[in-house]
Amino acid sequence: MASPCSSLSPPEVPMQLHVINREKLVKSLQQHLADSGRPIQGLVLLQGGEEKTRYCTDHSELFRQESYFAYLFGVREPGFYGAIDVATGKSILFAPRLPKEYAVWMGDIKPQSYFMECYMVNLVSYVDEMEEVLVSQYDGEDKCVLYLLHGLNTDSGNFSKPAEFKGIENFETDLSTLHPILTECRVLKSKLELDVIQYANDISSEAHVEVMRNTKVGMKEYQMESLFLHHTYMYGGCRHCSYTCICATGENSSVLHYGHAAAPNERTFMDGDMALLDMGAEYHFYGSDITCSFPVNGKFTADQRLIYNAVLDAHNSVIAAMRPGVSWLNMHKLAEKIILDGLKKGNIITGDIDDMMSQRLGAVFMPHGLGHLLGIDTHDPGGYPKGLERPKEPGLKSLRTARELKEDMVITVEPGCYFISALLIPAMENSDTSKFFNPDTIRRFMVFGGVRIESDVHVTSTGCKNMTNVPRETWEIEAVMAGGKWPPEKGLYYSDNGFGNPHS
């Protein structure tokens, strides 16, 4: 039942979601093997995540399942393995055999039947029985083939860990086939996946509005983070966050990944500051990634409005242009061009926009990529499949994908404009780019910080759907920070230019 503080209630997620994911993988694997002239046989084997302690202590850190394993099986407990028969689609979970003492300290030891019913698999055995069970399930004449997960995550540069277990040397192992196929399965979302991502967006959007409404000059940045985490957990059932919250104010808002241990959201923000809050809740493994920027005192200055609207125009223009077949690289360039045009209108820069684009001036103000795939991971894998190279130019090289959009992708749209001394000063001293800057005007913005506006967008057959629902227009933000409802009951707020319709 929804709380008076929230319009939402945590939904029950059907395990059929993961059955569909497994079926999708089996179909893709079977097609790949048939196209390659290989027998359609073997077993996919994944190892789930292990519970970890804090360094040498006995303090267990809060466990979160490995993402590929979560995608296929939905298992929230640590220490599991999972297998799928490529020929039949039959699924098997291998549970850790727990000691009797577990029941004293950790709760009931669940029987195998519980896991079979809960996770909708065909068979459950213990990890120490794995070799015997895998051999018995294999129907081929030769040595049993295990398709193991091993491949590069193009966002992190890390490799996924292939399963290991006692007796694996008695199997034939394939380390190259599974990863690209399973990764591509994760790129396009099913209806059930989209429903969970939408819920994560709904509760996160609601929490962002609560933070916006309760922000007051003189607070600490971590208090905004605390308000967000409280709302998404208390009312949304979200124990995990998609990533470490970025709660940046003033000059901190030009630090792209602010909020880490060395910069822990601890500044006291002052009258006249802009806030940049990048926060997203995770529900049943699936995440959200939303950024709101607003003045902490609830009223935009002329300079704040100038930068904010340049970014908002880029955000809205990209979403209006998104549809299957559109190049994400071109969307990034579109966002850059619109932001540069806004800065030119504000007399911060001068000259020909096309010349600025050729000199990659946009990367000075927006050094990060326009957005990234979103799903079980904040930066969901699949951004650079085999054959697609990462651009090398400034700004463009930071794109987490350069793919063409496909129906049922979920991707973030997050243009930004930042005044980063480490980028601005070299650009202003460079003979090729110095001509574009108006030194007197830009000096006023050197301590401005930055603005980012980020929404999570589902690519549909004919266009796209914005899954995020927060105030975006400056007058909407001011109205909400002054106590107005969101979404508005009658659909109208008073704006500086009269009346306007809020985003829906």
Asked if residue 374 lies in contact with residue 401, where contact means CB atoms within 8 angstroms, the answer is no
User: What's the rounded Cα separation, in Å, for the pair 339 and 342?
Assistant: 5
> Is 489 buried (19+), middle (13-18) or exposed (0-12) by CB count in 10 A?
exposed
CA atoms within 13 Å, Cβ hemisphere of 179: 20
d(CA 384, CA 127): 34
Please report, in tens digits, the pLDDT of each residue of the chain (504 residues total): 456 789 999 999 999 999 999 999 999 999 999 999 999 999 999 999 999 999 999 999 999 999 999 999 999 999 999 999 999 999 999 999 999 999 999 999 999 999 999 999 999 999 999 999 999 988 777 889 999 999 999 999 999 999 999 999 999 999 999 999 999 999 999 999 999 999 999 999 999 999 999 999 999 999 999 999 999 999 999 999 999 999 999 999 999 999 999 999 999 999 999 999 999 999 999 999 999 999 999 999 999 999 999 999 999 999 999 999 999 999 999 999 999 999 999 999 999 999 999 999 999 999 999 999 999 999 999 999 999 999 999 999 999 999 999 999 999 999 999 999 999 999 999 999 999 999 999 999 999 999 999 999 999 999 999 999 999 999 999 999 999 999 987 644 443 333 333 333
Q: Indicate the domain borders of the chain.
A: 15-187, 191-482
What's the Cα-to-Cα distance from 377 to each of 15, 64, 65, 258, 290, rounded to whole Å?
A: 19, 12, 11, 19, 14
Domain at 191-482: CATH code: 3.90.230.10
**In this structure, which topology does domain 15-187 adopt according to CATH?**
Creatine Amidinohydrolase; Chain A, domain 1 (3.40.350)
- Peptide linkage before 39 cis (omega within 30 of 0): no
Contact 342/478 with Cβ under 8 angstroms? Answer: no
Place of tokens 């850190």: 61
Cα dihedral 473, 477, 483, 488 sign: positive
